[in-house]
Amino acid sequence: MQTTKITLPKTLDSNRLKIGFRVFSAIFAGYLLAATVSGLLAVTLPFSAIDNVLTAMMLSFAVYATAGIWAFSVRNHWRALSDLLLLSGLFYLLVVAIG
């Protein structure tokens, strides 16, 4: 019987780390951005309270998808994270200042 030898890479490839970093940015920083935008819209929209929350939650799905696209469209993988975190920080400060 012949056995096959499986070799695993000893080091991770640089491109794999960059893609993993973009995936992390898209998932977690994108969620943070969608949550802060949703909170800001819920506070600032001129409808009734329930309509504000429902509209903000529906729009948060579009923001989350856009953040995921943004994380994979920028040239630098660090910029993918920094832009999303800076935007979510700005929106959080607006929520705190308004509400």
- The span from the CA of 66 to the CA of 71, in Å, is 9
pLDDT in tens, 51-89: 999 999 999 999 999 999 999 999 998 999 999 999 999
Which candidate, 64, 44, 60, places its Cα nearest to that of 52? Answer: 44
What confidence category does residue 11 fall into, taking pLDDT thresholds of 50, 70 and 90?
Answer: low
- How close are the terminal C-alpha atoms of the chain, in Å? 72
pLDDT at residue 97, rounded to an integer? 96
Nearest to 68 by CA among 18, 29, 12: 29
Query: Alpha-carbon distance 33 to 64, whole Å?
Result: 7
